[in-house]
Copies of this chain bind each other. A is one copy, B any other.
Amino acid sequence: MISEKMKPLLQNNSAIREMFEEGKRLAKIYGAENVYDFSLGNPNVPAPPEVDAAIRAILDEEESTFVHGYMSNSGYEDVREAIAQSLNERFQTAFHQGNILMTVGAASGMNVILKTILNPGDQVITFAPYFLEYGNYVRNYDGELVIVPPDTETFQPNLEAFASRIGEKTKAVIINTPNNPTGVVYSDAVLRQMAEILTAKQQELGTDIVLISDEPYRELAYDGVDVPYVTKYYANTVVCYSYSKSLSLPGERIGYLVIPDELADSAEVFAAATIANRVLGCVNAPSLMQRVVMRCLHAKANVAAYDRNRNRLYSALISYGFTCIKPQGAFYLFVKSPEPDEKAFCTVCKKHNILVVPGSSFACPGYVRVSYCVSYEQIERSLPAFEAVAKEYGL
């Protein structure tokens, strides 16, 4: 029954599902409090109180047929305008509602823009380590994902390797900053160089290359680090945003695309993306949540809680002898495996009831991802287990 394209996905899925099942199995044997699951990217911090307050206020103040009804496929005009103005205030941009397309989260936004621009055989470049779903999104439209190997010293993008991979078939580049799984933030200098490379290549090849900035972790940045706004560096940029992490609403599927006026054929791309949003079956982003985010433009999940987790876990792992760059954003540590085969390392961790994700799940073997969007108590409880793992490796 299953289509040829879905068959490999069905195969690969089992591996991830196995890990979930393993977590449940261990919890049954040892008790949930004695299993240290660092495998998921599911925010443990609740939505800020503004979210539920906004929902109640909307139910009190707005018409049911308006709140729960159809609107333009690109979203409510007032919501889009409010988001545009909020971005303008924060980033000194000049967006208007015609640049903002409300989507069913960033994942759907990415599908929408890829469907809008990709022809079969087009190439999309991204940087390892990366969220493996990018490959699925690109293959949905018969594109090919091209991987730039990681610079494992810094986990900043390897720009030389990047430049060498851009060719006539390159239609888009996906970046993700703050990054899943490394937590690094691309600096002003890096984005400037990346934009220079892209601009030169566009000129050389006579093509348009769209830089797709996947930004679900934008608000999760620490130590006062600046997360530069990518549209300011390069005209052919599209931003995929999500409120999943900033407002802890991952299940609600609410986000937006920014399609700036500066993008080539901007108005046409916006119109086509609106249609793509419709024909992919989303039709529009969930209506109540659109109205909620408009009322929560200044609200934010408790980022300090993630920061506390980050500092505690990072310091402890370093003190036990593990190697890891200190992340400046998102809620992940990308830890070097003490043995070359990180899957074997994951097995050792599991023996100590620690669940982490092998780097090969992000096209970067030799490392593991440790998600710290968990309770501080879980981190505290897990530390002796991490220490025991370190000792087992003689660190």
Binding site for B on A (CB under 8 A): 1-6, 9-10, 13, 40, 42-47, 51-52, 55-56, 59, 63-65, 67-71, 104-105, 107-112, 115-119, 133, 136-137, 140-141, 208, 210, 248-254, 263-265, 268-269, 271-272, 275-276, 278-289
Partner of A4, one of B13, B45, B119, B284: B119
Bound form: Cα–Cα A71–B275 in Å? 28
Can you show 26 pairs from A to B with CB atoms below 8 A apart? A1-B208, A1-B210, A1-B263, A2-B272, A3-B118, A3-B119, A3-B272, A6-B116, A6-B276, A9-B272, A9-B275, A9-B279, A10-B268, A42-B70, A45-B65, A68-B252, A69-B250, A104-B281, A107-B281, A107-B283, A108-B283, A109-B281, A110-B281, A252-B286, A253-B282, A288-B288
Known contacts A3-B116, A136-B279; 5 further A-B pairs (Cβ under 8 A): A1-B269, A64-B248, A68-B251, A104-B281, A108-B282
Bound form: Cα–Cα A109–B289 in Å? 20
Instruction: Report yes or no: A52 in contact with B70, Cβ–Cβ below 8 A.
Output: no
Contacts of A140 in B (CB 8 A): 115, 279-280
Instruction: Report yes or no: A284 in contact with B251, Cβ–Cβ below 8 A.
Output: yes
Partner of A68, one of B56, B118, B137, B250: B250
Instruction: Report yes or no: B52 in contact with A64, Cβ–Cβ below 8 A.
Output: yes
Report A139 CB to chain B, min CB distance, Å: 8
Report A44 CB to chain B, min CB distance, Å: 6
Contacts of A5 in B (CB 8 A): 115, 119
Report A14 CB to chain B, min CB distance, Å: 9
Partner of A47, one of B46, B68, B278, B286: B68
How many protomers of this protein does the assembly include? 2
**Given A1-B208, A111-B281, A248-B68, A275:B10 Cβ within 8 A:** yes
Partner of A271, one of B10, B275, B281: B10
Instruction: Report yes or no: A1 in contact with B70, Cβ–Cβ below 8 A.
Output: no
Instruction: Report yes or no: B281 in contact with A137, Cβ–Cβ below 8 A.
Output: yes
Contacts of A287 in B (CB 8 A): 251-253
Bound form: Cα–Cα A45–B281 in Å? 23
Contacts of A283 in B (CB 8 A): 104-105, 107-108, 250, 253
Contacts of A59 in B (CB 8 A): 52, 55-56
Contacts of A69 in B (CB 8 A): 42-43, 248, 250-251
Partner of A104, one of B56, B68, B104, B269: B104
Contacts of A288 in B (CB 8 A): 55, 251-252, 288-289
Partner of A2, one of B9, B265, B281: B265
Instruction: Report yes or no: A115 in contact with B6, Cβ–Cβ below 8 A.
Output: yes
Bound form: Cα–Cα A47–B264 in Å? 42
